[in-house]
Amino acid sequence: MRLKLILVVLPIAALLAVTAGFAYVQWSKGGAGTGLYSRDWAPDPVQGYWDPDNFYHSPDSVVGVFEAELCIQCHQGITPGIVADWSTSRHAQTSEPVYCNDCHGSDHQQLRLPTPDVCGSCHKKQHGEFKDEARYGFPSHVLAMERAVDAPHFADKPKAEVQSCVQCHSVATKCDSCHTRHRFNTAEARRPEACITCHSGPPHPDDESYFGSAHGKLYLAEGKTWDWSKPLAKGNYKAPTCAYCHMDGGRHQVAHKSMWKFGLREINPQTSKNQVLRQRWIELCNDCHQEKEAEQWLAEMDQERKQVWGKLYEAEAILKDLRSNNLIQPEAEDRPPYPMGSLWPRERIGFFEGQASAFYNVSAIERDYFEMWYFDNLGSYKSAAHGNMHGVEKGHKKMSASLERIKTYAGELRAASEADSNSKKGVGVAEFWSRGAYTDYNREHN
């Protein structure tokens, strides 16, 4: 009888739990913002330009419904640069021009900023490829905005500090991240500058790693003379650029050859899936190089990854040992929580919320690990992927230096603990880490 009761109750309880979880997620997305923490933040006006579907509001300065000719006539006086760009675009120079109201609408009180869905009404192939990228998961362009707004630190930090993040993550919500409006010139989108507007800086140093490679140096020396109106096809360019390799043939999908998941996680390169991805790269490299050359370069990158993870695991083991002995300060319960609170405060490390070390009060030893894992590791990986051996050497050198600092600091913590058993908490540590100008501002304004 008891077994029958359990068999009946457990499925019902599981169903109720799943239903409650689903209801909670839907409720959490019902706030002024978007994403999982939409109830914990409200958008600044500029958010309407980064995520127009959700936040753009048409200006109320003009009232009326207008045909295309009137739009052009008015904007020739108000924004002549926009009209000039449109006039030289393919949209304007066809037998059936694409006018302002085709993309923005005709009612000036109900104007829209074009989103990928709007562009996709004509550019179905490109839009389909873009949307299909979601099946590869993160990182990918189509999921970039979701990745930003679903992060706890997005809701916790002042919006002025995350707008630079959203400006690039808006590649998921508008096409003019790559195709500058209103020309939408494919020749512009094929150049590396279209990509490095966002793909630069410590977390994704693609610009530095590419321009330090043989391909990048050739582009810097001769790229101004190349004919960028040519398709991304074999023989059209003397050296490959970002779009040639990652959007080969004009394919609007950049995740279909991602083997190492941005370099943030250790991946087994010998799985059947990764073998397929590797073959895609080899076929692409064959446009200019021998197959065995490409295979060798991939093998060298695998070796570079093994060396990196050896260093990272060694550092992580040290931090875990220090935590198990309560030697890392501040402890989780002494740190400011996320604004939505936490039933289980805990220190974070590595892939799962490892980025928290970039945004919160953490100890010096944790920050060293974060920069080792998130900055120097990625710099080395990107350099290996782009054939920039100097960048690989530089990344490994910086990781080794961080590892030595971590070892030294760990030794000092252990020695201090042995010398003074009361050194764990220190004087006023809880107050020190839970108060402060930055923390107080966040608490009052978010």
DSSP string computed for 365-377:
HHHHHHIIIIIIH
* 401-435 pLDDT per residue, tens: 999 999 998 998 888 887 766 544 443 444 544 55
Which parts of 196-340 are beta strand (E)?
Answer: none
**Within a domain: residue 332?**
yes
pLDDT for residue 423: 47
pLDDT for residue 353: 43
DSSP H or E segment with residue 169: helix 159-169
pLDDT for residue 78: 93
Going from the C-alpha of 20 to that of each of 23, 24, 26, 27, 274, the distances in angstroms are: 5, 6, 10, 10, 37
Which parts of 94-252 are beta strand (E)?
Answer: none
For residues 162 and 145, the answer to whether their CB atoms sit within 8 Å is no
Indicate the burial class of 181 (C-beta count within 10 angstroms; 0-12, 13-18, 19 or more): middle
**Within a domain: residue 281?**
no
User: Rounded to an integer, what distance in angstroms lies between the CA atom of residue 446 and that of residue 444?
Assistant: 6
pLDDT for residue 70: 94
**Within a domain: residue 72?**
yes
Residue ending a domain, choose from 85, 112, 139: 112
What three-state secondary structure class fits 328?
A: coil
pLDDT for residue 433: 47
CATH code at 391? Answer: 1.20.850.10
Q: Identify the segments of the chain with pLDDT beneath 50.
A: 352-355, 423-430, 432-433
Terminal Cα distance for the chain, rounded: 53
* Stated pTM of the model: 0.85
Count of domains forming the chain: 2
DSSP H or E segment with residue 114: none
Range of the domain at 70: 57-112
Residue ending a domain, choose from 112, 142, 157: 112
pLDDT for residue 158: 75
Q: What is the amino acid identity at position 335?
A: R
**Within a domain: residue 339?**
yes
pLDDT for residue 430: 47
**Within a domain: residue 142?**
no
pLDDT for residue 349: 57
User: Rounded to an integer, what distance in angstroms lies between the CA atom of residue 381 and that of residue 399?
Assistant: 12
**Within a domain: residue 228?**
no
**Within a domain: residue 368?**
yes
